[in-house]
Chains A and B, each alone.
Chain A
Amino acid sequence: MDILAYFASLNPMNLASALPGNIAQGVIWGIMALGVYITFRLLDFADLTVDGSFATGGAVTVVLVLAGIPAPAALLAAVLAGMLAGLVTGLLHTLLGIPGILAGILTQISLWSVNLLILDGANKAVNVGKYALVVSLRNVGSSIVVALCIAAVLVVLLYWYFGTEQGSAIRATGCNPHMSKAQGINIDGMKVIALCVSNGLVALSGGLMSQYQGFADIKMGQGAIVIGLAAVIIGDVLGDALLSRHMNFLIRLVFVILGGVVYYLTVGLVVWLKMPTDLLKLLTAVIVAIFLAVPYLSAKAKNSFAAAGKRGVRKDA
């Protein structure tokens, strides 16, 4: 009867009341996922800098707000700090020839120290009662609206940018570096620019998250890459399932944000089901693995050796 007791203890109202907060966080993480989308999907570069630059964005924002800088300006500074982190990874990779994943890890690990220096400790709180913040969990409704507006502006900006000559050159670099060089594209330069843009977005998301939760923490970026990937992949799978052939770049970007929301709704569900939150990271990894595997397995199911072996010679042949 334990199971019945367990289900009886689940209150649907709790799930409903947690919903807005999960949406707000989902949109903020969706912005982070836009950054991951740029490197992972467009540049074909698994950039692990983001775990560090997310926290950097949070740290810079909180410290500047506490210093009396208006929150929007603090966010702008966070973007610049994130871009600087991207620049470091980009230069480690292009100028010093360090493999992409390793370059990202090196920046990420060094940002841990940098973030401790910025925060002057492991964490710092910012009180929404004392400072005018852009988003806050004390006011979830307006936070959702603000986050959605920022996300919408960013989606339009990115759609425009990746349609320009420079954006096209970045996409070409990710798609076929050999051809890009032959067409006169400075692929090292494009990689650096894309890493800067990506980490700028990630830091912006970190800045928003620190305001939303009311503090910046040295550990806030841990596993960010996996959450970002989860959002990107969930968005891809959802988009392809719902719109299949009608997907264009603009809609893809919208679905990245949506992927972030869906991810956080899933997290909300897990919490509501009273699963131990210690397992959250494990669950996230499992979700990402499943969403990564589904397109592969479904393609394989249609086109497998086992099936071909069973089919044999066609009867009507």
Chain B
Amino acid sequence: MLDLVRVEKTFNPGTINQKQALGGISLHLEEGEFVTVIGGNGAGKSTMLNAIAGVWPIDSGVISIGGVNVTGLPEHRRAAFIGRVFQDPMMGTAPSMEIEENLALAYRRGRRRGLRWGVTKSERARYHEALASLGLGLEDRMTTKVGLLSGGQRQALTLLMAALQKPKLLLLDEHTAALDPATASKVLELSDRIVAENKLTTMMITHNMSDAIRHGTRLIMMNGGRIVLDISGKEKTRLTKADLLQKFAEAAGVQEETDRMLLS
């Protein structure tokens, strides 16, 4: 469903701030795979997601989604294939617009926006049902401005919006990091359910190792702009936090080792 072939990105090339953020990443995701992505700060996790989403062009490599080469497409064109939830709950919704208007915007992702009415009656019934499934009582507040919702409610709504027009790929960029633990676990649970119900191919960045182990069908670890660990299937189900920490240290060590070899 998703293919990255030797994707490279360097920020501020030719300046003192030059930083290679992605060092030739290759990755293949099968349809329906749910990958959790872990790694330290600056490992390139968000950079990889942004590269896929098309926030900026990559330096080299190929990105294809569902067999379509999207490397040359800008962010809003790639949105046809991708649902996204961001770390900042304020980022994923339009605060001065109503809940149903936000859903209607998401429902039209990947379609031409013409002069038909922005929210139709039949859609409303659909949104009502979808909101009811969240169990947050939002279905009775469909004309409430989203700006009045709490962070958790907003993230739940953004998740719903991301999945409304079933995307080929769902990108969750630390989408529970800004929430309190109780709300975070609710939103995670909801993510699991939405992914399972829609059989979505998903990438989820998290800083929480237990979450990374507990959720998803595959786990990748990044370091220094590279994928240093890739575990799936039975091996992932047997994985413990201690294993992961050790592998994290090993991976980082190997990275340092190769760096040292290159430099010497």
- Residues of chain A touching chain B, judged by Cβ–Cβ distance below 8 Å, are 161, 163-169, 171-172, 175-176, 178-187
Cβ-neighbour of B95 out of A165, A176, A186 (below 8 A)? A176
Q: Once bound together, how far apart are the Cα atoms of A215 and B53, in whole Å?
A: 54
| Beta-carbon contact of A183 and B109 below 8 Å | yes
Q: Once bound together, how far apart are the Cα atoms of A185 and B111, in whole Å?
A: 9
A183-B161, A184-B79, A187-B76 are known contacts. Are A169 and B113 too (CB-CB below 8 A)?
Answer: yes
- Flag B68-87 by CB within 8 Å of A: 1 or 0 each: 00000001110110101010
A165-B113, A165-B118, A183-B105 are known contacts. Are A176 and B76 too (CB-CB below 8 A)?
Answer: no
A163-B118, A172-B105, A175-B95 are known contacts. Are A182 and B75 too (CB-CB below 8 A)?
Answer: yes
| Beta-carbon contact of B75 and A181 below 8 Å | yes
Chain A residues lying within 8 Å of B91, measured Cβ to Cβ, are: 176, 178-179
| Beta-carbon contact of A184 and B77 below 8 Å | yes
Chain A residues lying within 8 Å of B80, measured Cβ to Cβ, are: 184
- Interface members, chain B 99-141 (any A CB < 8 Å): 101, 104-106, 108-111, 113-119
Does B202 sit at the interface, judged by CB under 8 A?
no
| Beta-carbon contact of B108 and A184 below 8 Å | yes
Chain B residues lying within 8 Å of A180, measured Cβ to Cβ, are: 76, 94, 105
Chain A residues lying within 8 Å of B111, measured Cβ to Cβ, are: 184
A184-B76, A187-B76 are known contacts. Are A164 and B114 too (CB-CB below 8 A)?
Answer: yes
Number of interface residues of B (CB under 8 A): 32
Please give the distance in Å from B133's CB to the nearest CB on chain A.
Answer: 20
Closest to A190 in B: B113
Chain B residues lying within 8 Å of A178, measured Cβ to Cβ, are: 86, 91
Closest to A171 in B: B97
Please give the distance in Å from B122's CB to the nearest CB on chain A.
Answer: 15
| Beta-carbon contact of B95 and A164 below 8 Å | no
Cβ-neighbour of A164 out of B75, B96, B97, B118 (below 8 A)? B118
Chain B residues lying within 8 Å of A161, measured Cβ to Cβ, are: 115
Closest to A177 in B: B94
| Beta-carbon contact of B118 and A168 below 8 Å | yes
Additional A-B contacts beyond A176-B94, A184-B76, A184-B108 (17; CB < 8 A): A163-B118, A164-B115, A165-B114, A166-B113, A166-B114, A168-B101, A168-B104, A168-B105, A171-B94, A171-B96, A176-B95, A178-B86, A178-B91, A181-B79, A182-B82, A182-B86, A185-B76
Does B93 sit at the interface, judged by CB under 8 A?
yes
